[in-house]
Amino acid sequence: MDVAEWLRGLGLDQYLPAFRANDIDGEVLRRLTAEDLRELGIASISHRHRLLDATAALHPHPDPPPPSGGGKLQSANPGSPGQNRAPRL
C-alpha cells in the first residue's frame, strides 16, 4: 500500500513527513490508534478522526455469525430420534 497516495487521497498529505519519519507503512497504518496519531503530531481532532475512520475502512469486515435456528424456537418432539427416554413399563 502506498501510504503517501493514501494520505493525498484524504487531503492530509501534510502529515507525510511524520509518517515517513516514523516508518508508517501499510501494515502499521492499519493498527494506528488515536494516541499514535497524537504522537505523530496530528493535533487536529478532526484530522485524527478522519484518519482513524480511513484506517478502519482498511480492515476486512468479519462475516456475520450464522443465525441460530433461523430465529425460530424449536420445541422438543418426544418422538424424535436421538432423545433419551426411559422405557415404559
Q: Residue 52: is it exposed, middle or buried by C-beta count within 10 angstroms (0-12/13-18/19+)?
A: middle
pLDDT digits (tens, 9 = 90+) for 41-79: 999 999 999 999 999 998 776 655 566 655 555 555 555
Instruction: From 36, 59, 57, 60, select the one nearest 48 (Cα to Cα).
Output: 36
pLDDT digits (tens, 9 = 90+) for 10-42: 999 999 999 999 999 999 999 999 999 999 999
Cell of 56: 478502519
| Whole-structure pTM value | 0.64
Q: How many CB atoms lie within 10 A of CB 48?
A: 19
Looking at 1.10.10.10, 1.10.150.50, 2.60.120.10, 1.10.3720.10, the CATH number of the domain 3-56 comes to 1.10.150.50
Query: What is the C-alpha to C-alpha distance for residues 55 and 81, in angstroms, rounded to an integer?
Result: 52
